Structure formats: structure tokens, C-alpha cells
């Protein structure tokens, strides 16, 4: 029996057990995947699980692009845009924080991106699982996430390639993909309507991974390639079908990816300094007042703007992509901050989002209704 099969069976069993434990309490399982990796990673041969975790990350980025395709830009409300402008202030503030920590401009830019970007995958799943998609703050939060993903994709294109050549190649390739979708997309969609689900799944997987490899070969970021694949598929009107087909495969890969992140975090965080821990805590706190102000600018009430700020706390997929990039480019401090922010914010964010209504009631108790007129005499 191949060792990878044994590793997969053990990992899947541990993940299933953790997910079952939190399911009855109504919590999302992502924090448990991270904690399972932290607690059991030293006993798991996580290297034998590849390429499933890497594939899971690519499919996750593909799904983010699929969820926030070009058509969703047209649906952005003015409220969400105003809130998103306040949210982007985390970029210059994070950059300044990086410079104060002794990083050069590139390292500070990577840190700024890590502080700025929230996890679309975690937040959207929490909003759906908790049945809050129709709430007014959810509309604002989802709009902010669309803007964040587009900004961070641009930042990845600038910082993830190998110099100006990689950036230029990534931009040209992205334009070529969008032109292809515009010119040949309708014919392709009509052709795919006759394809079986199995064939569409295989073609979609080949398209996503092939695009990621092509971006990497040209010196651009493979994460941007996977994200762009999702945006192209969404622009072709394939969102619903691909979400249905890729959902189970993506969820399995993402579970393994977060397990591996938790397992590898132990070694990475072993040399964590007070500076790294302080940067992670400041990074988590930095966006809370910005998003609270953004919620007010978007016209949300006191409780709803608090909810919006709490919803945007979790960090996830893009933070880990930026952290891996920082580690590869010689910024271990930035990588430590990225991993620590994910480890802290996913379980904490899940709890805060889950109990946001109770927190709102405790901080802003309902005013007592005016009583009737006092009796005379």
C-alpha cells in the first residue's frame, strides 16, 4: 500500500471527527482543520498528502474568482463601495507598520496585503451557514470582499511575479483570457451545455490548474491564474454549474490544505518573536475601526456596523498565499505574521460572527419603550 493512502486515510478520519464535533454546535469546521494540524501535525506525514492540499488551494482561489466575477461588479452598491474605500486604508497603514518594523518596501507591501485582505471563503461560508445572507450588513460585507479580492489580485500580480517581466506577462495573459471569454465564450457555453457533468468537471480542473501552471511558467503568480480562471468562468455564465460540480472536491482539498497549514505552522512559529506576535495582533485590530467607520458611511445602524466589522475579521486563503510568497522571497517575519493571523482570526472570527447578535445586544441594549402618560393625581 502506498504511504500516501495511509496518510490520506488518517488525515480524512481526523478531519471528519473534528467536523462532526463542531457540527452539532453550529460552528464552521475550518478552525478545527487548523487546530487538528497544530495538534496532530507532528504525527502526520503531511508531505505524503500532496498534491491534494495544493490543488485545494487552487480550487479555493478559483471558487473565489467564480463567486466574485465581473458580473458581480455591476451589482456593487454605492454603500458597499463607500465601505470598501475605508477598508482600503488598511493598506497604507499596514505598509507604514511594516516600515516601522524594519522591513524594506517590498516586505512592507507584503505585510500590508496580509493585514488588508479578509477571507472571502471563510466569511461567505459563515454568512451562508448562519443564514444571514439577507441581512443588510451582509450586502455591504460581500461588496467589500469583492473589492478586496480585486485589489489583492493586483497586488499579487505586482509582488508575486519574477520582476517586471512576470508582471507584464501576467497582465497580457489576463487580457488574453478576458478577450477569449468575450469573443468565443458564447459559442463555448453552448457547446458545454451538451457535455456531461463529469466532462465539465474534468475540463474545469484542467483549465484551472493549467492556467495556474502557465502563469507560474511566465513568472507570474499561479494564485492569480486560478483566481482569473474563476472570473472567466463566471463571466461565461457557468457559476452555478461549476459551483455545484467543484464544491465537494474543493471542500476536501481545502480541508487538507488547512490541515497542512496547521501542521507546518508549528515549525514556522517556533522562532516567533514579540515583534511578530505584536504585528499579528495589531494587524487584526487595525481593520476593526476602519470597517466600523465604513459601515457607518454605508448607512448601517450601530449594531449592523458592528456586525460588519466583526464579519471582516477572519483571514485565510490570500493571507497564506502572500505568506508563502513572503517566505520564498526572504521575509520569514511576514510569513509568521500571516500564519499567526490566520490561526488566531479563523476560530476567533467564527465565534464573534456566530455570537454577533448577542454581542450587539450586550453593547447596545434596546431602549425602553416610552411608557404611557402618567396617571393624573
Tell me if 150 sits within 8 A of 125, measured CB to CB. Answer: no
| pLDDT tens digits, 305-350 | 999 999 999 998 788 888 888 888 889 999 999 989 988 898 888 8
91-116 per-position pLDDT tens digit: 999 999 999 999 999 999 999 999 99
Asked if 57 and 253 touch (Cβ cutoff 8 Å), the reply is: yes
Q: Domain for residue 140, yes or no?
A: yes
Instruction: Residue 285: give the domain boundaries.
Output: 51-362
Contact 284, 341 (CB under 8 A): yes
Q: Taking Cα atoms as reference points, which of 259, 205, 249, 218 lies closest to residue 46? A: 259
Looking at the domain assignment, is residue 35 inside a domain? Answer: no
Q: Where are the alpha helices (DSSP H) in the chain?
A: 3-23, 30-40, 52-67, 70-74, 78-87, 90-100, 105-116, 120-129, 136-159, 163-192, 197-217, 222-235, 239-268, 274-297, 302-311, 317-328, 332-354, 356-363
Percent of the chain at pLDDT exceeding 70: 91
The number of distinct structural domains making up the chain is 1
Instruction: Decide if 254 contacts 62 (C-beta within 8 A).
Output: no
Is residue 216 assigned to a domain?
yes
Place of cell 501542521: 263
Structural domain includes residue 125: yes
d(CA 9, CA 1): 12
Give domain status of residue 41, yes or no.
no
Q: What sign does the dihedral 177-182-187-192 (CA atoms) show?
A: positive
Q: Would you say residue 102 lies in a domain?
A: yes
pTM exceeds cut of 0.75: yes
DSSP code, position 65: H
Provide the grid cell at 303.
449594531
Q: What is the CATH number of the domain that holds 287?
A: 1.20.1530.20
What lies within 8 Å, CB to CB, of 363 at 6+ separation is: 306
What is the tens place of the pLDDT at every residue in 181-221? 778 777 887 888 888 889 988 988 999 999 989 888 887 77
**Does 146 reside within a domain?**
yes
In a domain, 204, yes or no: yes
Amino acid at each position: 500500500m502506498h504511504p500516501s493512502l495511509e496518510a490520506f486515510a488518517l488525515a480524512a478520519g481526523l478531519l471528519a471527527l473534528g467536523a462532526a464535533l463542531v457540527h452539532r454546535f453550529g460552528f464552521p469546521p475550518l478552525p478545527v482543520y487548523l487546530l487538528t494540524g497544530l495538534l496532530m501535525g507532528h504525527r502526520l506525514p503531511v508531505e505524503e498528502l500532496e498534491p491534494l492540499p495544493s490543488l485545494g488551494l487552487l480550487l479555493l482561489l478559483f471558487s473565489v474568482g467564480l463567486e466574485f466575477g465581473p458580473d458581480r461588479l455591476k451589482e456593487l452598491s454605492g454603500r458597499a463601495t463607500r465601505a470598501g474605500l475605508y477598508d482600503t486604508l488598511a493598506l497604507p497603514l499596514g505598509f507604514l507598520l511594516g516600515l516601522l518594523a524594519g522591513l524594506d518596501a517590498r516586505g512592507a507591501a507584503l505585510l500590508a496585503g496580509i493585514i488588508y485582505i479578509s477571507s472571502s471563503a471563510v466569511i461567505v461560508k459563515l454568512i451562508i451557514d448562519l443564514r444571514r445572507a439577507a441581512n443588510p450588513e451582509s450586502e455591504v460585507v460581500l461588496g467589500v470582499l469583492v473589492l478586496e479580492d480585486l485589489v489583492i489580485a493586483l497586488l499579487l500580480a505586482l509582488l508575486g511575479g519574477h520582476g517586471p517581466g512576470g508582471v507584464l506577462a501576467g497582465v497580457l495573459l489576463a487580457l488574453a483570457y478576458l478577450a477569449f471569454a468575450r469573443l468565443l465564450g458564447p459559442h463555448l457555453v453552448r457547446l458545454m451545455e451538451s457535455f456531461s457533468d463529469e466532462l465539465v468537471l474534468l475540463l474545469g480542473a484542467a483549465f484551472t490548474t493549467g492556467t495556474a501552471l502557465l502563469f507560474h511558467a511566465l513568472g507570474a503568480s499561479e494564485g492569480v491564474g486560478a483566481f482569473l480562471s474563476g472570473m472567466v468562468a463566471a463571466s461565461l455564465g457557468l457559476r452555478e454549474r461549476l459551483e455545484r460540480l467543484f464544491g465537494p472536491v474543493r471542500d476536501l482539498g481545502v480541508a487538507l490544505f488547512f490541515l497542512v497549514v496547521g501542521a507546518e505552522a508549528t515549525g514556522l512559529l517556533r522562532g516567533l518573536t514579540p515583534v511578530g506576535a505584536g504585528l499579528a495582533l495589531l494587524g487584526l485590530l487595525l481593520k476593526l475601526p476602519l470597517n466600523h467607520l465604513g459601515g457607518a458611511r454605508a448607512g448601517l445602524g450601530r449594531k449592523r456596523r458592528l456586525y460588519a466589522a466583526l464579519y471582516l475579521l477572519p483571514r485565510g486563503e490570500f493571507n497564506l498565499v502572500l505568506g508563502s510568497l513572503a517566505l520564498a522571497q526572504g521575509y520569514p517575519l511576514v510569513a509568521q505574521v500571516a500564519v499567526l493571523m490566520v490561526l488566531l482570526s479563523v476560530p476567533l472570527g467564527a465565534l464573534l460572527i456566530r455570537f454577533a447578535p448577542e454581542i450587539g445586544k450586550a453593547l447596545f441594549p434596546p431602549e425602553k419603550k416610552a411608557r404611557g402618560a402618567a396617571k393624573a393625581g
